[in-house]
Chain A
């Protein structure tokens, strides 16, 4: 017992407020966001990056990334991946679009049906993962390619083109557009998606850190067997996380559809890794059991600033992928150094 007390004293001595702050999973992302913001303010050639006009642009990219990235972060904390999250954006947009343009369904019922459909895809992902015991990396990779094929195949079959258009002729389009794609605070033109993003981040953070279900998310990702032994419904927790991920992808799909009034069959493909990058930059461990929802949102903000900042700097936007790669590497390195330095509990 004396050894335990001595060890406790040692640990107590190190727990200053500074260390407590540095222990937060999203601290690396927050420092990164500040660096990226300062950097793109400095190289900006248009003079608009720092102002509200610039903010309206980069928060839009951040929002459409962040809505899904937050869900992906929760799923990763729960110990699973979803590589089909990107293509689900396209699938849901096309699903809603085809219902409206080809089957003349009013817009609101079409949107409701799309969320149900997306939840079913998430349910299928989750059910396959827990029933087969295969890695979710493989199961959702298979789902990714299947949906990619279905997106093109079904769209061509029904429209003879690779896009779905004429959404604005659907009944109720204007009210749906107001909810999912309105622009606020003129003349800057902030997108309403930003509000969805912020609200969903707050809810996800609250659920993760303050509720019973959040406790289960950490447990199933941290040690599945220990969680099961203490009576946590492991499979149900994972399936719910897969459903949350696919429905948040559907929300972004609906947002794009309402904004563009059309949908390309290839939409969303490639985004799955952007979501994962945002989550990892935000402090999620690839091995599960650790991370933060707000971190994933900060990661998305970094991605938004990078995409818009590179354009404002007058550089070719092709460079943004290189930038994403570097951000990912530096962020993970920083997180791991901070983690080793300050938490001790992270393996």
Chain B
């Protein structure tokens, strides 16, 4: 199996033959992906495919055992998620992105608080933070009436949207979304997918990690399929239909066998 990675190096992020071993367990084997600015790259995989390991490599939690991790053509050198963040890779983890009891503006600027004044009187610039938060969210099409309201009062989709808007605001070049729609209903998923496209339009390289080929097909420009730690297929948007994607994702023949099995069960 060969994967075409011959594009000129305009990629925001590139993994080249990356392998990740934990003792004798090979979690990822010879995985190559590239992510261009202003595109949405979907990484699809079922449970245990290696999605979580991949996210952790991209977000700086793990350093790959083998292979190259290039950021804008240069070798990435992260020792922590904070390093990755500082170099423009923002990761929005499912359910672990915002603090529910804190207000929207406090969440928005968490870890990047704007301050004014001099030590020891350095303090939060609350007025700027509230206005900037409201304006930035409005720009993404999220209408938060009151930046003082607790994030816990927002819907699941809006919470993800706040996290995405935050990453974009702080100049993320690469935005990694970990299953952003998996816990949401149809409508809320639609809301989040819209913000994914908003981020893309602003030139961000979006990595959308999901097990839902329908959601991926709605927004993706390029699709990578992971299975059991290996890259099993790669498609460009123009070359693939939704049905093909769903089929490939489910493992083609395996799904036929499963359908047959269920059929026999229900007819018995």
| Interface residues, chain A, with chain B CB atoms under 8 Å away | 1, 3-5, 7-9, 11-12, 15, 206, 210-212, 214-216, 218-219, 222-223, 225-232, 285, 289-290, 343-347
Nearest CB in chain A: distance from B252 CB, A: 36
Interchain CB contact under 8 A, A218 and B99: yes
Residues in A whose Cβ lies below 8 Å from that of B123: 206, 210-211
How many Å lie between the Cα of A8 and that of B147 in the bound state?
Answer: 11
Binding site of B, secondary structure by majority: helix, strand, loop or mixed? Answer: loop
Interchain CB contact under 8 A, B145 and A8: yes
Residues in A whose Cβ lies below 8 Å from that of B93: 225-226, 229
The stretch of B12-20, B28-36, B105-113, B256-264 in contact with A is: B105-113
Nearest CB in chain A: distance from B89 CB, A: 12
Residues in B whose Cβ lies below 8 Å from that of A223: 96, 98-100
Closest chain B residue to A225, Cβ basis: B96
Interchain CB contact under 8 A, A345 and B153: yes
How many Å lie between the Cα of A343 and that of B111 in the bound state?
Answer: 25
Within 8 A of A (CB), among B44-84: 81-82
Closest chain A residue to B108, Cβ basis: A230
| Interface residues, chain B, with chain A CB atoms under 8 Å away | 81-82, 85, 91, 93, 96-102, 106, 109-113, 115, 122-124, 126, 141-146, 149-153, 155, 158, 166, 187, 191, 194
Interchain CB contact under 8 A, A15 and B146: yes
Closest chain B residue to A285, Cβ basis: B101
Interchain CB contact under 8 A, A289 and B141: no
Residues in A whose Cβ lies below 8 Å from that of B91: 229
How many Å lie between the Cα of A211 and that of B97 in the bound state?
Answer: 21
How many Å lie between the Cα of A319 and that of B244 in the bound state?
Answer: 77
**Contact among A1, A7, A211, A343 with B124 in the assembled complex (CB-CB below 8 Å):** A211
Closest chain A residue to B110, Cβ basis: A230
Residues in A whose Cβ lies below 8 Å from that of B126: 210
Residues in B whose Cβ lies below 8 Å from that of A347: 100-101, 152
Q: Which of B101, B122, B126 has the most CB of A within 10 A?
A: B101
How many Å lie between the Cα of A81 and that of B260 in the bound state?
Answer: 57
Residues in A whose Cβ lies below 8 Å from that of B152: 344-347
Interchain CB contact under 8 A, B100 and A215: no
**Contact among B112, B141, B187, B194 with A231 in the assembled complex (CB-CB below 8 Å):** B112
Interchain CB contact under 8 A, A215 and B96: no
Residues in B whose Cβ lies below 8 Å from that of A290: 101
Closest chain A residue to B92, Cβ basis: A229
How many Å lie between the Cα of A160 and that of B150 in the bound state?
Answer: 57
Interchain CB contact under 8 A, A230 and B111: yes
Closest chain A residue to B114, Cβ basis: A212
